A and B are shown apart, each in its own frame.
Chain A
Amino acid sequence: MNGFSDFLELHPLFSWLFDLLKSTGLQDPWLHLVHYGALSVMMFGLLALIALFLVWWERKIAGHIQQRFGPMRHGWHGWYQTVMDAIKLLQKEDVKIALRDKPVFFWAPIVCFVAAFCVYVVMPFGENLIVADLNIGILYVLAITTWTVISLLMAGWGSNNKYALLGGMRSAAQIVSYEVPMALSILTPILFVSSLSMNDIVLSQSGPIYNWFIFRLPFGPIAFLTFIVAGTAEANRTPFDIPEAEQELVSGYNVEYSGMKFAMFFLAEFVNMFTIAAVAVTIFFGGWNGFEFLPSWLWFLGKTLLIVLLLMLFRWTYPRLRVDQLMVFAWKFLVPLTFANLIIAGLFKHLGWYW
Chain B
Amino acid sequence: MGVMKDLKNLIAGLGITGKHLGRHAITIQYPEQRDTIPERSRGIVVLLSDKETGELNCTACQLCMRACPTGAIVVEFERDENKRKILTKFDLDNTICCFCGLCEESCNFSALKLATKYEFSTTDKDGLLWDMHKLQEVGRDVPYVDTRKKKAEKSEKKPTPKPAPKPADEQPAPKDSSEAPQPADKTPGVGDMPDKPKAAQKPDDPNDGGTDVASDNRDDDTKREGND
Whether A64 lies near B17 (C-beta < 8 A) is no
Q: B27 to chain A: which residues have CB within 8 Å?
A: 67-69
Separation of A316 and B17 alpha carbons in the complex (Å): 8
The yes or no answer to A63 lying at the interface (CB within 8 A) is yes
| Proximity string of chain A (134-164) to chain B, C-beta cutoff 8 Å, 1 when within and 0 when not | 0000000000000000000000000000000
The yes or no answer to B26 lying at the interface (CB within 8 A) is yes
Interface segment, B8-16, B62-70, B135-143, B161-169? B8-16
Report whether over half of chain A's contact residues are helix, strand or loop; otherwise say mixed: helix
Question: Which residue of chain A has the shortest Cβ distance to B22 in the bound complex?
Answer: A64
The yes or no answer to B83 lying at the interface (CB within 8 A) is no
Name the one of B13, B14, B20, B29 contacting A66, with C-beta atoms under 8 angstroms. Answer: B20
Whether B26 lies near A313 (C-beta < 8 A) is no
Select the residue from B10, B16, B17, B26 with max chain A CB neighbours within 10 A.
Answer: B17
The yes or no answer to B159 lying at the interface (CB within 8 A) is no
The yes or no answer to A86 lying at the interface (CB within 8 A) is no
Shortest CB-to-CB span from B10 to chain A, Å, is: 7
Interface size bracket, A side: 10 to 19
Shortest CB-to-CB span from A334 to chain B, Å, is: 12
Chain A 16-36 interface residues, beta-carbon cutoff 8 Å to B: none
Question: Which residue of chain A has the shortest Cβ distance to B10 in the bound complex?
Answer: A318
Shortest CB-to-CB span from B31 to chain A, Å, is: 12
**Interface size (B, Cβ < 8 Å)?**
14
Chain B 13-66 interface residues, beta-carbon cutoff 8 Å to A: 13-14, 16-18, 20-21, 23-27, 29
Whether B29 lies near A65 (C-beta < 8 A) is no
Whether A64 lies near B13 (C-beta < 8 A) is no
Chain A 29-76 interface residues, beta-carbon cutoff 8 Å to B: 61, 63-69, 72
Shortest CB-to-CB span from B8 to chain A, Å, is: 13
Q: A65 to chain B: which residues have CB within 8 Å?
A: 17, 20-21
The yes or no answer to A317 lying at the interface (CB within 8 A) is yes
Separation of A1 and B23 alpha carbons in the complex (Å): 35
Q: A313 to chain B: which residues have CB within 8 Å?
A: 14, 17-18, 21
Separation of A317 and B19 alpha carbons in the complex (Å): 12
Q: B29 to chain A: which residues have CB within 8 Å?
A: 69, 72
Shortest CB-to-CB span from A178 to chain B, Å, is: 18
Shortest CB-to-CB span from B23 to chain A, Å, is: 6
Whether B20 lies near A318 (C-beta < 8 A) is no
Shortest CB-to-CB span from B15 to chain A, Å, is: 9
Separation of A69 and B17 alpha carbons in the complex (Å): 15
Q: A64-B23, A68-B27, A72-B29 are in contact. List 20 more A-B contacts (CB 8 A).
A: A61-B21, A64-B20, A64-B21, A65-B17, A65-B20, A65-B21, A66-B20, A67-B23, A67-B24, A67-B25, A67-B26, A69-B25, A69-B27, A69-B29, A313-B14, A313-B17, A313-B18, A313-B21, A314-B14, A316-B17
29 sampled A-B residue pairs with Cβ under 8 A? A64-B21, A64-B23, A65-B17, A65-B20, A65-B21, A66-B20, A67-B20, A67-B23, A67-B24, A67-B25, A67-B26, A67-B27, A68-B25, A68-B26, A68-B27, A69-B25, A69-B27, A69-B29, A72-B29, A313-B17, A313-B18, A313-B21, A314-B14, A316-B17, A317-B14, A317-B16, A317-B17, A318-B10, A318-B13
